[in-house]
Amino acid sequence: MNPARLHKIQEGVPGNGPVVYWMSRDQRVGDNWALIHAQETALQMERPLVAIFCLSTSFLGAAARQYLFMLEGLAEVEKGLGRLDVDFILLFGRPGDRIPRYLENVDASLLVTDFDPLKVKARWRLEVARTVRVPFHEVDAHNVVPCRRVSDKAEYGAYTIRPKIERLLDEFLDPFPRLKKHPYPFIGSRRSVDWSAAAEGLEVDSFPGKVDWIKPGEVEAKKALRKFIKTGLASYGESRNDPNLNGQSNLSPYFHFGHLSAQRAAMEVLASKAPDQARRDFIEELVIRRELADNFCLYNRHYDSVEGFPNWARQTLADHHEDPREYFYEMDLLDRGKTHDELWNAAQLQMVKTGKMHGYARMYWAKKILEWSPNPESALAAAIHLNDRYSLDGRDPNGYAGVAWSIGGLHDRPWKERPVFGKIRYMNLKGAKRKFDVERYVKTWAGEAKED
Ligand code: FAD
Ligand code: FO1
């Protein structure tokens, strides 16, 4: 593995037991650099290899919808690892105390985990590192170009990070080595996971519940990627911004839970026969935009608050803090999609019903929350809350960056000044109607809402 993917959290002292891969963000067997590194090291040290996942019963407001999707994907991981004679252990509780205990009783020789820029994960890693003595490695299995390698600071926008990524892209589109059947068996408890007990044990809201348009797991993710490349990629450029067309790839739930490797998607898109422009458009989103979001969350610890907005944006929003709001909506009305704006209601209901709001609608949706909230702080909190509660791909760096872009001008520039928004880019219904058939979208998603 390219050592630039590796970040040593602590040198430590190896035990005599297995190499342990603490899987968290990248929940897949194939195309997973953290798992590849764990096996390479276990083979060198002639040690068994074990994968663990620590199931925390609450995660940034996730409900049954997200947890059931995730658990089904993890059940597939357990099967895939079993075929390689690698044990998969599901642990329950707070990683900070559950994982050190596990490492202790197996006398682990090395701990490997996958990179994740979210604060909650940095806290988990710190709690574990403080308590254990074993060597602790972090591998960026999520980004094509490792986040820590692209830049050592928060980038201003796509235009500053793009050249840094493009310069390195080829180096990190290297082929994935195949995992081997592991020759050193782990004489541990080869008990398979009781997945229905795990699902029952969750203390999460049963609403919003499961969605059925998308099946979890890495087999389905690969199928969805291939289907998109075959039928959607060629027209991606022009149809991805029309909420009435199914022009996006719909892969974000798979990227969020790590069922699909972004590097795999990039390699297959680049190798496809789709027109050059379409491939470039997709890579711009999948690599530049997505890795810019990880860069933002890694280097800006205020990624989920107004302090995380660029200074010009905080200034302009402060200048307009007292501007009268024409409309004002409590969370309950927003949640049920009951505002005066039927485009906004349709976007909200699409997210509630399917767990995925169209990308173009998402920008409009978040910007209106700024317009209808008493201040930017409560607007940001409301947008993050709703996005993370209903979206399958929520609780993700892309979400924090997307909401901060919409409400706080992150990775954007100042526009013509106006009430409430100040110089934050404005969007309105007129503009949306110029872009796509709003009536059709409203009928599709908020149609029945009119009856009751
Ligand atoms: P496609 O258009 O097919 O794009 C393919 C992939 O490229 C996506 O899966 C994603 O990984 C990446 N990508 C595309 N657009 C963006 C973008 N603007 N920023 C970063 N990466 C991008 N994305 C999430 O994954 N989770 C979220 O919670 C989320 N919340 C958002 C909230 C707001 C207010 C906004 C404006 C955007 C948000 N996004 C979020 C970014 C973007 O809307 C989604 O990534 C995209 O719509 C996912 O659908 P797709 O996979 O079909 O996209
Ligand atoms: N990661 C974990 O390591 N343990 C969990 O119990 C867990 C729950 C969870 C629920 C919903 C969700 O969207 C993500 C969840 N994650 C969990 C984290 C996820 O794997 C991603 O790492 C981050 O959300 C994105 O950075």
CB-based contact 408:446 (threshold 8 Å): no
Omega of the bond leading into 135 within 30 degrees of 0 (cis):
no
Q: Tell me which residues have their CB closer than 6 angstroms to ligand 1.
A: 240, 248-252, 255-256, 285-286, 289-290, 293, 359, 362-363, 366, 387, 391, 393-394, 396, 398-399, 401-403, 405-406
Q: Which residues of the chain have pLDDT under 70?
A: 188-190, 448-452
CB-based contact 410:308 (threshold 8 Å): yes
Residues 6+ apart with CB under 8 A from 403: 366, 380, 383, 384, 387
Residue 448: predicted pLDDT: 57
CB hemisphere CA count around 164 (13 angstroms): 22
Tell me the two tokens of residue 324. Answer: 């009268």
Ligand 1: which of 26, 348, 393 to mutate, most ligand atoms within 8 Å of CB?
393
- Residue 85: count of CB within 10 angstroms of its CB: 16
Residue 397: predicted pLDDT: 98
Residue 449: predicted pLDDT: 43
Alpha-carbon torsion angle 83, 5, 72, 233, nearest 10 = -110
CB-based contact 188:50 (threshold 8 Å): yes
Q: Quote the ligand 1 centre to 398 CA distance (angstroms).
A: 6
Atom 20 of ligand 2 has which residue's CA nearest to it?
25
Determine the Cα–Cα distance for residues 83 and 93; give it in Å rounded to an integer: 27
Q: Quote the ligand 2 centre to 102 CA distance (angstroms).
A: 20
Residue 446: predicted pLDDT: 87
Determine the Cα–Cα distance for residues 339 and 26; give it in Å rounded to an integer: 38
Residue 187: predicted pLDDT: 81
Greatest Cα pair distance in the chain: 69
Residue 117: predicted pLDDT: 98
Ligand that lies nearest to the alpha carbon of residue 74, given by its number in the listed order:
2
CB-based contact 404:392 (threshold 8 Å): no
Q: Tell me which residues have their CB closer than 6 angstroms to ligand 2.
A: 24-25, 54-56, 59, 62, 66-67, 70, 116, 118, 257, 395-396
State CA 85 to chain mean position distance: 29
Residue 61: predicted pLDDT: 86
Ligand 2: which of 55, 70, 99, 384 to mutate, most ligand atoms within 8 Å of CB?
70
Atom 42 of ligand 1 has which residue's CA nearest to it?
359
Residue 450: predicted pLDDT: 42
Q: Using one digit for the tens of pLDDT, what is the confidence trace for 286-297? A: 999 999 999 999
CB-based contact 100:128 (threshold 8 Å): yes
Atom 19 of ligand 2 has which residue's CA nearest to it?
25
Residue 58: predicted pLDDT: 87
Ligand that lies nearest to the alpha carbon of residue 128, given by its number in the listed order:
2
Q: pTM for the full model?
A: 0.98
Residue 2: predicted pLDDT: 98
Residue 189: predicted pLDDT: 62
Strand ranges inside 315-366, DSSP E: none
Q: 250 phi and psi, to 5 degrees?
A: 60, 25
Residue 452: predicted pLDDT: 38
